[in-house]
Structure 1
Amino acid sequence: MPTTVSEPRERLLRTATRLFYDEGIHGVGVDRIVAEAGVTRATMYRHFPGKEALVVAYLEHEDDIIRSLFAAAAEQAATTDASPRDLLALVIEGVAEDATRLHTRGCPFINASAEFPDAGGPVRQVVRRHRDWFRGTLTELATAAGSDDPAATAASLVLLRDAMLVGGYLDGADVAGDFRATARRVAGLD
């Protein structure tokens, strides 16, 4: 039996995602989110027990976006009978495209971590799960692609993505091309 999606909940999440990413989490109050989403406070608290729960949902949504990028690359690779090296190249391209299309104001996970320094808190736990998944998946891809040191390759790709997202935002430059070239070299694709 499919789960019914609550339109007010989705509006809250869309609104919070836009505001949190564009203006920072602590800089945006619940009253503003409620007003811009066009719902009541009671509706907000029916779906999210508090602002922190909404922040967790926002980061889980961001995680879903990145996971769907990987899934799209895998689907494209499967339909073209691509090699594991080709799949890794598709993921690198997808990550670069994401930074120029969607995440132009830095990494939502790094930004949230700066505002929530408690590494044991719910927000940072979502960040940790995302980063562990991201690094682990890149390690698996690098292994399948024949990397001599898949863990080091994955660690370097994570670092390069972080640098691309932060550098692109801070410098206002299109660093995706540099990311692509460096990531491909690190992954042994060039």
Structure 2
Amino acid sequence: MATRRSPTRASAARERLLATAGELFYREGIHSVGVDRIVGEAGVTRATFYRHFPSKEDLVEAYLGVEDAHIRAAFEAAEATGGEPPELLSLVIEGLADDVARHHTRGCPFINAAAEYPDAASAVRRTVAVHRDWFRSSLEHLLVSAGAPDPVAAAGELVLLRDAAMVGGYLDGWERVRPAFVTSARRAAGLPAVTARA
């Protein structure tokens, strides 16, 4: 009779696969990294890989899910402070800037993934679309609460600014891009200007 793997071991293997794939996908691109390399660097078998991810595309979706969770955490951290809406907006802007500086020095993982999956009907592109819809609607909600005169337009500007900041940070260096991003994002959100951190 075969012994069943413990949930802890299975979960640890899944997390190693996700961490390894996330690093490789972000650094080198999704299509350029094969399953064999991910399996080898994660130190698991192919059988373990396919037990957790029936296909590479399933792994890509899970990787984007991790990226989505990181951005949601910036909103949750702001909301946990219990501050007033303008303060929450300010904290979200700073949180997004910190996220780019610490984790996204090679551009936006969602834009990068979308570039590799041109079919808008693919599961990966749908995952990207769900994230962007959530991001935009979360910004709109904060802007409505803060009394922005046109929260839909302001949210659109903030999404665009973050997209541009991630590309600009990769090309020009975040130390040059961060002050412009923070200043522009605060202006778009209707917040008073402050001296941006270097």
Q: Size of the alignment, in residue pairs?
A: 184
Among 74, 83, 86, the alignment partner of 1:69 is 74
Question: Residue in 2 aligned with 1:111?
Answer: 112
TM-score (norm 2): 0.90
Amino acid at match of 1:43: T
C-alpha distance in 2, partners of 1:172/1:97? 14
TM-score (norm 1): 0.94
Q: CA RMSD in A?
A: 1.1
Amino acid at match of 1:143: V
Q: Percent identity?
A: 62
Question: Residue in 2 aligned with 1:147?
Answer: 148
Unaligned runs of 5+ in 1: none
Question: Residue in 2 aligned with 1:182?
Answer: 184
Amino acid at match of 1:88: L
Question: Residue in 2 aligned with 1:138?
Answer: 139
C-alpha distance in 1, partners of 2:32/2:174? 25
Give the number of the structure with larger relative contact order, counting CA–CA contacts within 8 Å between residues 6 or more apart. 1
C-alpha distance in 2, partners of 1:112/1:170? 18
C-alpha distance in 2, partners of 1:146/1:25? 41
SS in structure 2 at match of 1:120: coil
The structure that has the greater radius of gyration is 2
Superposed CA deviations along residues 59-89 of structure 1, whole A, max 9, x for unmatched, are 011001100111011112x1xxx21000001
Question: Residue in 1 aligned with 2:159?
Answer: 158
Unaligned runs of 5+ in 2: 1-6, 193-198
Question: Residue in 1 aligned with 2:27?
Answer: 22
Amino acid at match of 2:159: V
Given that residues 97 and 176 in structure 1 are in contact (C-alpha distance below 8 angstroms), is that contact kept between their aligned partners in structure 2? no
Question: Residue in 2 aligned with 1:126?
Answer: 127
C-alpha distance in 2, partners of 1:171/1:113? 22
Question: Residue in 2 aligned with 1:102?
Answer: 103
C-alpha distance in 2, partners of 1:187/1:162? 16
The Cα of 1:172 is off from its aligned counterpart by 2.9
C-alpha distance in 1, partners of 2:78/2:105? 21
C-alpha distance in 1, partners of 2:174/2:184? 16
Amino acid at match of 1:91: V
Amino acid at match of 1:94: G
C-alpha distance in 2, partners of 1:93/1:171? 19
C-alpha distance in 1, partners of 2:68/2:145? 23
